[in-house]
Structure 1
Amino acid sequence: MKRLALLAATAALVLPATLPAQTAATAPAPAAADAPTFSAAAVRAHVEFLAEDLLKGRDTGSEGHEIAARYVASQFDGLGLKPAGDNGSWLQRIGFQKTERARTPGTLTVTGPAGSKSFTHAGDVLIGMNAAEPKLDVSAPLVFVGYGLENARLGLNDYAGLDVKGKIVVTLRGYPKGLPSEEGAHLSATKGKIAEAHGAIGMLSIGTLQSMKARPWNRMVQFADEPDFTWVSPEGVPFDAAPGIRVGASLDDAAAQAVFAGAPTSIAAIRKQADKAGGKPKGFALKSTAQIQVESVSERVTSPNVVAILPGSDPKLKDEYVVLSAHLDHIGISPAKPGDKPDTDRINNGALDNGAGIATMLEVARAMAQSPNKPRRSIVFLASTGEEKGLLGADYYARHPTVPGKQIVGNVDLDMPLLLYPFTDVIAFGADHSTLGPIVAKAVAPMGIKLAADPMPQETIFVRSDHYMFVKQGVPAVFLATGYANGGEKAWGEFLSGAYHHPGDDMTQKIDWDAGARFAEANYRIARVMTDSDTPPQWYKADFFGDLFAPEAAKAPKQ
Structure 2
Amino acid sequence: MRNTLFAAVAAACLLAGPTGAFSQTSEPDISAERFRAHVAFLADDLLEGRETGTRGHEIAARYIATQFDLMGLKPGGESGGWLQSVGLAEIGVTGAAPTLVITAPSGAKTYENGGLAIIRGPITGGDADVTADTVFVGFGMTDKTLGIDDYKGLDAKGKVVVIMRGAPLSMESESGAHLVSEQARNAAAHGAVGVVYVRTLPAQKASSWKSQQATARSARTTWVQKDGVPFDSAYGIRATATVDTEPGNLLFEGARQSLAEVLAQDTAKSRPKGFALKTKVTLKASTSVRKYTSPEVIGVIEGSDPKLKDEYVVLMGHADHLGVRPNMPGDNIYNGALDNGAGIATLLEVAHAFTKGERPRRSLLIVANTAEEKGLLGAEYFAHYPTVPVDKIVAGIDLDMPMLMYDFTDVVAYGGDHSTLGEAFRKAGATMGVTVSPDPMPEQTIFVRSDHYALVKAGIPAVMLATGMQNGGQAAWDSYFEKNYHQPSDDMKLPIRWAQGARFAKINYLVARDLADADQRVRWYAKDYFGDLFAEKAAKAEKPK
TM-score range, shorter chain: over 0.9
Q: CA deviation at 1:418?
A: 0.9
Q: CA deviation at 1:129?
A: 2.6
Q: CA deviation at 1:335?
A: 4.8
Letter in 2 for 1:368: F
Q: For residues 180 and 397 of structure 1, what CA distance do their matches in structure 2 show?
A: 28
Q: Which has the higher contact order (CA 8 A, sep 6+)?
A: 1
Q: Which moved more, 1:460-469 or 1:207-216?
A: 207-216
SS at match of 1:497: helix
Task: Kindly report which structure 2 residues correspond to 1:281-296, keeping only aligned pairs within 5 A, or say none.
Answer: 281-296=272-287
| Residue of 73, 96, 110 corresponding to 1:81 | 73
Q: For residues 225 and 415 of structure 2, what CA distance do their matches in structure 1 show?
A: 29
Deviation by residue 1:414-434 (Cα, 9 ceiling, x = unmatched):
111111110000000001100
| Residue of 275, 290, 304 corresponding to 1:299 | 290
Q: 1:202–1:248: 8 Å Cα contact kept in structure 2?
A: yes
| Residue of 310, 315, 318 corresponding to 2:301 | 310
1:72 corresponds in structure 2 to 64
Letter in 2 for 1:292: L
1:329 corresponds in structure 2 to 320
Q: Which moved more, 1:54-63 or 1:228-237?
A: 228-237
Deviation by residue 1:314-356 (Cα, 9 ceiling, x = unmatched):
011001000000101111112525xx3xxx1111011100011
1:368 corresponds in structure 2 to 354
1:412 corresponds in structure 2 to 397
Q: CA deviation at 1:499?
A: 0.6
Q: For residues 27 and 318 of structure 2, what CA distance do their matches in structure 1 show?
A: 25
* Structure 2: segments with no counterpart, 5+ residues: 1-15, 17-23
| Residue of 500, 506, 512 corresponding to 1:527 | 512
1:516 equivalent to 2:508? Answer no
1:236 equivalent to 2:228? Answer yes
2:457 corresponds in structure 1 to 472
Q: 1:138–1:247: 8 Å Cα contact kept in structure 2?
A: yes
2:124 corresponds in structure 1 to 132
2:12 corresponds in structure 1 to none
Deviation by residue 1:370-421 (Cα, 9 ceiling, x = unmatched):
21x1000000000010111111101100110011111000000011111111
| Residue of 137, 156, 169 corresponding to 1:164 | 156
| Residue of 364, 372, 379 corresponding to 1:379 | 364
Q: For residues 431 and 133 of structure 1, what CA distance do their matches in structure 2 show?
A: 39
2:4 corresponds in structure 1 to none
| Residue of 431, 449, 457 corresponding to 2:416 | 431
1:348 corresponds in structure 2 to 334
Q: For residues 326 and 217 of structure 2, what CA distance do their matches in structure 1 show?
A: 11
| Residue of 435, 443, 468 corresponding to 1:458 | 443
- Count of matched residue pairs: 522
Quote the sequence identity (%). Answer: 51
Q: Which moved more, 1:178-187 or 1:97-106?
A: 97-106
SS at match of 2:313: strand
1:192 corresponds in structure 2 to 184
Q: For residues 330 and 193 of structure 1, what CA distance do their matches in structure 2 show?
A: 29
Deviation by residue 1:157-209 (Cα, 9 ceiling, x = unmatched):
11010000011100111232131111111111001111111111111110122
Q: 1:200–1:244: 8 Å Cα contact kept in structure 2?
A: no
Moved over 4 A (4+): none
1:357 equivalent to 2:343? Answer yes
Q: For residues 139 and 518 of structure 1, what CA distance do their matches in structure 2 show?
A: 57
Q: 1:357–1:416: 8 Å Cα contact kept in structure 2?
A: yes
Letter in 1 for 2:291: R
Q: CA deviation at 1:103?
A: 5.4
1:11 corresponds in structure 2 to none
Q: 2:141–2:150: 8 Å Cα contact kept in structure 1?
A: yes
Q: For residues 275 and 262 of structure 2, what CA distance do their matches in structure 1 show?
A: 12
2:492 corresponds in structure 1 to 507
* Structure 1: segments with no counterpart, 5+ residues: 1-7, 9-29
Q: CA deviation at 1:260?
A: 1.1
Q: For residues 233 and 35 of structure 1, what CA distance do their matches in structure 2 show?
A: 43
Q: 1:35–1:521: 8 Å Cα contact kept in structure 2?
A: no
Q: For residues 74 and 125 of structure 2, what CA distance do their matches in structure 1 show?
A: 42
Task: Kindly report which structure 2 residues correspond to 1:92-103, keeping only aligned pairs within 5 A, or say none.
Answer: 92-102=84-94
Q: For residues 175 and 326 of structure 1, what CA distance do their matches in structure 2 show?
A: 26
Q: 2:122–2:237: 8 Å Cα contact kept in structure 1?
A: no
Letter in 2 for 1:384: N
Q: For residues 91 and 232 of structure 2, what CA distance do their matches in structure 1 show?
A: 13
Q: For residues 250 and 234 of structure 2, what CA distance do their matches in structure 1 show?
A: 27
Q: For residues 139 and 123 of structure 2, what CA distance do their matches in structure 1 show?
A: 26
Check 1:291–1:133 CA distance in 2 against 1; reply closer, same or farther (3 A cut).
Answer: farther
2:524 corresponds in structure 1 to 539
1:445 corresponds in structure 2 to 430
Q: CA deviation at 1:86?
A: 1.2
Q: 2:30–2:352: 8 Å Cα contact kept in structure 1?
A: no
2:6 corresponds in structure 1 to none
Q: For residues 210 and 273 of structure 1, what CA distance do their matches in structure 2 show?
A: 12
Deviation by residue 1:448-471 (Cα, 9 ceiling, x = unmatched):
000001000000000010000000
Q: For residues 217 and 500 of structure 2, what CA distance do their matches in structure 1 show?
A: 37
1:248 equivalent to 2:233? Answer no
